[in-house]
Chain A
Amino acid sequence: MQFSLERFFLLLRKRWAESGRMYLLGLAILAGFWALTLSLFILAGNGNQNLQLVMLIMGLIGGGAMFAYHQFQQLSTTPGAIRFLHLPGSHLEKNLVALLFIFGFFLPAAMAVFYVVDLSLVEIARRRWWPDADESPLKILDWHKTGDAIATYGIVTAVFALGSVYFSRSALVKTGAAFFVLGMAILFANFWLPYWLVPHSENIMMVSEMFDKLELHNRETSEVDVMQLPESWKTMFNVFLAVLLPVYCWCIAYVRLREKQA
């Protein structure tokens, strides 16, 4: 693995010169999306922090997927792939440039944009419609509130970066489709596997909290049985999802980039 700080900065400068304007435009579009959706919810009288968090996650998933895909988008055409692969820089440096733009630029910039939009809209709403309500903007620096959003962003961007290196043609569509199918399969397995494994009857109603616990409500006795992983397992599972899975995807992307031909 070759790494030169000088080449790394040259690659960063080149990426910014070629795509910086588009990235800023992307952030403006994201700001518009958040302004529109949050305004609609506020006008409908529903602007609590959970909803704000959901909108943050949706924006980060959509924007992050597009941004990560763009990092290796050149590889989807032969002339683009030639330009990318023949640029004098190591595969490691090119991968690190993508990583830095995804985590060092887009994530903080998108969070800041969300904060500004959210703060402005909630403030306007409080003055005009909710003088007595205690609604407040989402605290984006509070890890307990936004940790899930950042972890989701990390997973989505890693998967889409890998997809754009892995697939030669229509990488965005193929990655999106693969991500959707895999996600649905995991959700399905997460819900139904425990249900099939546990003895149950028609009186049992199942309520699932994603990857966390499964509640079996007995309609006759009103008893609730809870199935959940031990805390240590849950921690391991969260670490796997939020850290190991993205790291694994980035490692595969690096290997695949080395093998890429044009």
Chain B
Amino acid sequence: MANVQIEQLRFGYKRSRPMFQDLSLTLEPGHVYGLLGRNGAGKSSLLRLMGGLLFPQEGYCRVGDFRAAERHPDFLREVFYIPEEFDLPHMRISDYVRVNAPFYPRFDREQFERYLDEFELVSHLRMTELSFGQKKKVFTGFGLAANTTLLLLDEPTNGLDIPSKTQFRRLIAQVVDPERVIVVSTHQVRDLEGLIDPVIILENSKVLLHEPMERIHEKLWFTTVPTLEQAPAPPLYHEPSLRGIAAVLPNPEGRHSKPDLELLFNAVLKNPDTIAALFAQPSLTPA
């Protein structure tokens, strides 16, 4: 399997109210895509369209050679979807692995055991003995160890405590692979900072931004200024912070800054047209 290709997709839970219209998107292997958007923006729906759980009304979503909506078994064994809410059978972790792992040809038991160790879980535990967060760790660990070429994660850090969020980021970073597409949908952007690249921002059925971090570095300057008057240019977005005013500015001089995903998200929602125009300009440096 290779990339995920969405072409002129139309989808809505009611035909009269489309959630996506003429949506086109291509996701390449070797990246962790961050799908950001407000509640109800369609992040989960887009993930389910990629996973073949929802069907487009028009257009298509292809993953490699397969149309996702056909749910061909060879497609399903190369896709693992970890939804925000999930359902696990009442059995031991080891039994769960024994009966589910054979469906995934590249499932690695040692890798899964390592994840369990990392999450301080043991495989003889029953699912009924686990908290929601622990079940999420088991399911996420299983999904990562399945080594599918498409991994879809919907709000993966919801229900995880702070140390587990760090562990999660580390594990995702470990499984990035040139053959693999990872898509993470979240509205808790800070949990995934430093992990996702490229960033896709959805709003009102549209993709407002779909750019790699390198281009975001190049086009935007994330800085803190003492007062708005001292900002070198009118900010695209600003908000008060402990050290002054955190602002996102255009970056015509190519200054280096560490992108703040939350500021980026708010800036894109506030000034979608200005930001689209900025990113439409060619890069200063060759990619």
Contacts and interface: CB of A to CB of B under 8 A. Distances in A.
A14 B76 contact: no
A183 to B, nearest CB: 33
A261 interface: yes
Given A14-B99, A89-B103, A2 B86 contact: no
A85 B85 contact: no
A14 B101 CA distance: 10
Interface in B47-80: 48, 51-55, 71-73, 76-77, 79
Contact of A7 (B52, B87, B103): B103
**Chain B: interface residue count, which band?**
20 to 34
Contacts of B77: 88
B232 interface: no
Interface string A48-82: 00000000000000000000000000100111111
A90 interface: yes
A79 B87 contact: yes
Contact of B103 (A87, A258, A261): A87
Interface string A178-191: 00000000000000
Contacts of A77: 87
Interface of B: 48, 51-55, 71-73, 76-77, 79, 81, 83, 85-87, 89, 91, 95, 98-100, 102-104
Contacts of A82: 48, 53, 81, 83, 86-87
A77 B83 CA distance: 13
B103 A91 contact: no
Interface residues of A, number: 28
Interface in A1-21: 2, 4, 7, 10, 13-14, 17-18
A78 B84 CA distance: 11
Given A79-B87, A83-B87, A10 B79 contact: no
A18 B48 contact: no
Nearest to B92: A17
Contacts of A90: 72-73
Interface of A: 2, 4, 7, 10, 13-14, 17-18, 74, 77-83, 85-91, 93, 258-259, 261-262
A101 B79 CA distance: 28
B76 to A, nearest CB: 4
Given A2-B73, A17-B91, 13 more contacts: A4-B73, A13-B99, A14-B99, A17-B99, A18-B89, A79-B85, A79-B87, A82-B81, A82-B86, A83-B86, A85-B71, A91-B71, A93-B73
A88 B81 contact: no
A262 B48 contact: yes
Nearest to A262: B53
B19 to A, nearest CB: 13
B73 A88 contact: yes
A171 B100 CA distance: 27
A90 B76 CA distance: 9
Nearest to A259: B55
28 contacts: A2-B72, A7-B73, A10-B99, A10-B102, A10-B103, A79-B83, A79-B86, A79-B87, A82-B81, A82-B86, A83-B87, A85-B52, A85-B53, A85-B71, A86-B51, A86-B52, A86-B71, A87-B76, A88-B77, A88-B103, A88-B104, A89-B73, A89-B103, A93-B73, A259-B55, A261-B53, A261-B54, A262-B48
